[in-house]
Amino acid sequence: MSEMQQTLKQEVYLSGAGLHTGIEVSVRILPAPENAGIVFVRSDIPSRPEIPAFCTECIKVDKSVRRTTLAKDGYEIQTVEHLMSALWGVGIDNAVVEVSGEEMPGLDGSALNYVKALEDAGVVEQQAARKYFTVREPIVVEDGESSVAVYPDTQFRASYLLSYPHPLLKSQYVTYAENAEATYADTVAPARTFCLKEEAEALKAAGFGQGANFDNTLVLDDKGVMNNSMRLEDECARHKLLDLIGDLYLLGKRLRGRVVAIKSGHRLNAKLVQKLKQVDEFWNVGALRTGANEAMVGPQLDIMQIQKILPHRYPFLLIDRVLGIDEQKAVGVKCVTINDNFFQGHFPGQPVMPGVLIVEAMAQLSGVILLNKPDHRGKIAYFMAVNKVKFRKPVVPGDQLVMEVALGKVRARTAQATGKAFVDGKLVCEGELMFAIGE
């Protein structure tokens, strides 16, 4: 699997009826530039509204019954999971999907026709690195007997346990690994959607499944599959795995982790995606990267993570934790204790933190933002000037110094910042800082 983003060499055209609406629609899948992601476009509407597939707010959990629906600004696209799964399986990171209606065509009820069309169109490698969501700690969502858990792993692996009250659907367990010899196209893509006979009747009565038939849906009665036969052993569990992969691709990134799903469906999958996106934002605020370009964990950077950015070390590293950060501002903490070495000589009988070290702590927090920028990684920020510095209140052992800094003008060799420091919500220091950026 390529480590670079990929798109299509040429456009793909497909048409068919939606599984639930029964409405005939046409679909054009077009190449897209780097970092565009997968974007759906309602081509039947004059304004051609766009619905990005990587936006968690777009997932309509209340409409995730037997399908996954995306919506934005009052417009929606239903049953996107089969195409999303196929795009993942073929390795497409960027594409524009023009749809002439509110639901994707069901085709044969699997991802196979999508995969064949995408592979026939061809894949082209792009210049930008592929985006990954790397799981760093277990993440679980549950609903009664159903659950989906994601665990750290070096690649994508997924397992699904299916258990229905039917002789053919008891305790089916299937597993897929991204780099296994058994390919997605062979073992996952051909698996068709299914339901029990009584479910099919209830869905039809409720207005769903209007485009479903015995060719695109496996319908099971007490004797087996009605008017059809299985393509794969454990085909039903494999279709659940197909759906899971498609739903997980709504992260907008390829997942690196071990997924274990027990009797989950689209609604629970959607909740997992939303939780993963929240965790992703928590872990990667400011898009921090180490020198090895590996995503760092979290906006609350601990001392080890701070040292991956700053060159300072004990006893002159004056930030204990970063509470929040983006490309322009940061909030950090220095816990002031009697064990700080400067108290040995700075008014030891009535210890007070030196004001210049408060300024230095704000400067170091500025450096966390500045030295993380792609053009400045591996460099050093030297103090060039300080202006308008004011000390409002002494800082003593036991205080927690909370600093807020914001970058101003940043050029190739110089940068400006403003900083404020607080104790118990009261301003103790403020000033303007200027840096020279060197190797």
Examine residue 235 and state whether it is found in any structural domain, yes or no.
yes
Q: Is the pLDDT of residue 284 over 60?
A: no
pLDDT at 286: 35
Q: Which domain holds residue 187?
A: 4-283
Q: CA 360, 361, 365, 371 torsion: positive or negative?
A: positive
pLDDT at 305: 85
Q: Do 353 and 270 share a domain, yes or no? A: no
Q: Do 341 and 379 share a domain, yes or no? A: yes
Determine contact, residues 135/71, Cβ cutoff 8 Å.
no
pLDDT at 295: 34
Q: Do 379 and 413 share a domain, yes or no? A: yes
Examine residue 317 and state whether it is found in any structural domain, yes or no.
yes
Q: Is the pLDDT of residue 296 over 90?
A: no
Q: Is the pLDDT of residue 288 over 50?
A: no
Q: Do 277 and 325 share a domain, yes or no? A: no
Last residue of a domain, one of 283, 316, 349: 283
Which residue out of 20, 239, 266, 376 is catalytically annotated? 266
pLDDT at 353: 95
Examine residue 33 and state whether it is found in any structural domain, yes or no.
yes
Q: Is the pLDDT of residue 184 over 60?
A: yes
pLDDT at 424: 80
Is 266 an active-site residue? Answer: yes
Report which of residues 181 and 57 the model is more confident about: 181
Last residue of a domain, one of 234, 252, 283: 283
pLDDT tens across 18-65, in order? 887 889 999 999 999 999 999 999 999 999 999 999 766 677 766 656
pLDDT tens across 355-374, in order? 999 999 999 999 998 887 77
Q: Do 207 and 349 share a domain, yes or no? A: no
Examine residue 292 and state whether it is found in any structural domain, yes or no.
no
Backbone angle region of 154, left / alpha / beta, with phi > 0 → left and psi within -120 to 50 → alpha: alpha
CATH number of the domain where residue 199 is located? 3.30.230.20
Q: Is the pLDDT of residue 199 over 90?
A: no
233 burial type by CB count under 10 A (0-12 exposed, 13-18 middle, 19+ buried): exposed
pLDDT at 275: 85
pLDDT at 107: 94
CATH number of the domain where residue 340 is located? 3.10.129.10
pLDDT tens across 235-277, in order? 999 999 999 999 999 999 999 999 999 999 998 999 899 888 8
Q: Do 51 and 195 share a domain, yes or no? A: yes
Q: Do 336 and 236 share a domain, yes or no? A: no
Is 376 an active-site residue? Answer: no
Examine residue 221 and state whether it is found in any structural domain, yes or no.
yes
Examine residue 264 and state whether it is found in any structural domain, yes or no.
yes
Q: Do 328 and 267 share a domain, yes or no? A: no
pTM of the model: 0.65
pLDDT at 210: 73
Report which of residues 297 and 9 the model is more confident about: 9
Backbone angle region of 352, left / alpha / beta, with phi > 0 → left and psi within -120 to 50 → alpha: beta
Examine residue 154 and state whether it is found in any structural domain, yes or no.
yes
Q: Is the pLDDT of residue 336 over 80?
A: yes
The token pair at 313 is: 């070390």
What confidence tier does 279 reach under pLDDT thresholds 50, 70, 90?
confident
- Total domains in the fold of the chain: 2
Question: In degrees to the nearest 10, what's the CA dihedral of 241, 78, 108, 166?
Answer: 50
Across residues 290-314, what is the average pLDDT? 66
Across residues 89-105, what is the average pLDDT? 96
Report which of residues 287 and 244 the model is more confident about: 244
Q: Do 278 and 308 share a domain, yes or no? A: no
Q: Is the pLDDT of residue 297 over 50?
A: no
Examine residue 298 and state whether it is found in any structural domain, yes or no.
no
Per-chain mean pLDDT for the chain: 86
Q: Do 97 and 176 share a domain, yes or no? A: yes
Across residues 273-297, what is the average pLDDT? 53
Across residues 139-163, what is the average pLDDT? 91
SS3 434: strand
Q: Do 340 and 427 share a domain, yes or no? A: yes
Last residue of a domain, one of 251, 283, 315: 283
Q: Do 108 and 218 share a domain, yes or no? A: yes
Q: Is the pLDDT of residue 396 over 80?
A: yes
What lies within 8 Å, CB to CB, of 42 at 6+ separation is 48, 49, 51, 75, 77, 99, 101, 102
